[in-house]
Amino acid sequence: MCSIFGIFGLQSGDDLGALRRQALECSQRQRHRGPDWSGVYVDEGAILVHERLAIVDPAGGSQPLLSQDGALALAVNGEIYNHAELKAELTQPYAFQTGSDCEVINALYREDAPESFLNRLNGIFAFALWDRQTGRALIARDPIGVCPLYWGHDREGRLRVASEMKSLCEHCADVAQFPPGHWYDTATGKLTQYYRRPWRDYEAVKGVQVSPTELREAFEAAVHRQLMTDVPYGVLLSGGLDSSLVAAVAARYARHRVEDGDRTEAWWPRLHSFAIGLKGSPDLAAARIAADALGTVHHGFEYTFEEGLDALPEVIRHIETYDVTTIRASTPMFLLARRIKAMGVKMVLSGEGSDEIFGGYLYFHKAPNAREFHEELIRKLDALHNYDCLRANKSMMAWGVEPRVPFLDREFLDVAMRMDASHKMITVGADGKKRIEKAVLREAFEGYLPDSILWRQKEQFSDGVGYGWIDGLKAHAEAQVSDRELAAADKRFPFNPPLTKEAYFYRALFEQAFPTPAAAETVPGGKSIACSSPAAIAWDASFAAAADPSGRAIAGVHAQAL
């Protein structure tokens, strides 16, 4: 994973030299995402800059990726997991210039329409492809929005795109997020949604069953695909269900090299796992149990509250949000990424997405029926790029560590989401006992993990690193923000005014890094927990009054479920 920056719509009177220098300066602000190499492409119509984190083909594969005739220039942030299959399916000859998994996008562009070939890509990506012959740029983002992408126009009307907002804010008054699952054609000025799945409609999944074997095998295949790497890698292991399942499956494949069909021994056959928390945190204890059971080389790191507090301004600058839950969880992840980078690891697998697919959040206990349960899952998936995907990607990439998320693998999603949500609901069984959240996933992996991990109660990540973390943040904000300031929050922050002192504190730090109105508008309004959704409030009216997004604060559900 890397970073991209592009300027399109150049005119004959533009000073290419000055624009090139400006593009390099803007791209340098996101170089933390790609510290290994920088590449630049300039012609009379476009400028592309790429900051590379070398994961596949580290000796080659530098970007922008050019076609043999020089007509195509491609800058990609991401990974295409099924690139080998796509290359084998090409109907026209294409002279590949590198071993990069992403170069297949150029070949597909040459023989197929964007709507078609984008739906064949299984990966995480945000890219800008420039066709010099037609003067056309194609910009696209992966279906869920795992990879960040922003766009806007400078004062001369030129289109600019970048992996992070910080590279655009100075020159684009209209900076905004590029929507996941869409592509944009500069030739037509049309933004098109390409990712539309039947399972979004409950009627399409009603009555559908997915066997535990099919669910397990689909996830195993997803993890196996995402072990594609030519550099040292590891797994994030909080000791919760999701990260432990990722680690358990990865451990089964770690000894062989995925890139040659598992025929040879892996270059780094021992799987390393990583966890972080305050001293005595629930996650550190559970992660050690899981690591011992799986036989990983485990690294559990402790951080202090003061270290986390000191990092907050930098964390907010990197993750580019003022959302309370995201900042709480991003800070320990940011600190962990720095430790991982220091150990020479460049890629990690993580467990994001499982709660959105299976209804893992504790408020799902209140869902009244399968239809509403399913519709809430769709809403959560649609918002994921603003929260957990943003957190995992930006807090890790702040230190040049690439996160991959097997639960959001395109093929696995098609299996897990076509299951009738009635099988995912937290219902009362014949024995009178209430099922735990994500029971259908746990049952599919019986025997993979110790029962203490497989059936562990859900924790928010920001809770699991130690309850003192959230309590300390609240206390610190209470001391920093006066009652008078909070009462006047809507005057200082008319867009998305903060509702708590903690939210006000984060918003002030965000404003220091990103003072423009457009920057503030890239962050969605409301509370990030789903209890802010109209559907969830309809399930339980008490959710409407919950100002705190911690899992412990959801109408007593956390305590009742333990």
Q: Is 389 a catalytic residue?
A: no
Residue matched to tokens 């600190």: 335
DSSP 548: -
Give the relative orientation of helices 501-513 and 324-342 as an angle to the nearest 10 degrees.
60
Numbered residues of the known binding site for L-glutamine: 101
d(CA 328, CA 330): 6
Query: Of the listed 2, 102, 172, 389, which one is catalytic?
Result: 2
Give the relative orientation of helices 324-342 and 305-319 as an angle to the nearest 10 degrees.
100
Q: Quick check: 33 and 397 in contact, CB under 8 A? A: yes
Numbered residues of the known binding site: 101, 236, 276, 350-351
Angstrom CA distances, 550 to 139, 270, 343, 458, 525, stand at: 36, 35, 32, 12, 17
User: Within 10 A of 314 (CB to CB), how many other CB atoms are there?
Assistant: 14
Angstrom CA distances, 388 to 148, 396, 469, 505, stand at: 12, 12, 18, 21
β-pairing, 46-52 vs 65-66, is unpaired
d(CA 548, CA 556): 12
Sheet with strand 46-52: strands edge to edge: 37-42, 46-52, 3-8, 159-162, 150-153, 176-177
Numbered residues of the known binding site for ATP: 236, 276, 350-351
Contacts with 224 (C-beta within 8 Å, 6 or more apart), sequence order: 249, 253, 258
Query: In 449-466, which positions are buried (b, 16+ CB within 10 angstroms) versus exposed (e)?
Result: beeebbebebbbbbbbbb
Catalytic residues: 2
